[in-house]
Amino acid sequence: MAEAPDKHYLCVMASDSPDQNLTQYFSLCNDFIHAARLREGNVLIHCLAGMSRSVTVTVAYIMSVTNLNWKEALKVVRAGRAVANPNLGFQKQLQDFEATRLVKFLITLNLPASDAENGQPQTQGETSISSSTKQSQHQTANFRIRKTTEVQRF
């Protein structure tokens, strides 16, 4: 994890392949996102196209902090990012995560009120999450996502 004065970065090297195991990173990513949100910071989750890897990580987090199943959580993401479309392998991993999340990953918290979606360019093969304390406001469904305009490539 790289750090700037008020920014923290987590980069997960993962391919956009149905065979890629993203589940192994859900706990790490959830903890990172959760910590930023507890600090009332912004969180940006992104990948090359913003369609599959970053969406899968985001859906897993939403599932962890709400009672939504993976399809409902994906609808929340699609409300802010219409092109959200995890590949079939990632969809299967989200289904499996749904079956096990209550035992291993469920996080109970009160989320700060602010959200938006922001796509940024990135190199292929990377899924990154960044957080910051800068705030912007926009509400998508009942889940709140934050927006940051600064991205660091890894």
State whether residue 105 is helix, strand or coil: coil
Please give the single-letter amino acid code of residue 50.
G
DSSP string of 123-153, one letter each residue:
-TTEEEEEEES------BTTB-----S----
Catalytic option among 14, 22, 33, 47: 47
Assign 101 to helix, strand or coil.
helix
* 29 is known as an active-site residue: no
Q: How far is CA 129 from CA 1, 43, 66, 116, 135, in A?
A: 10, 7, 20, 14, 16
**What are the catalytic residues?**
47
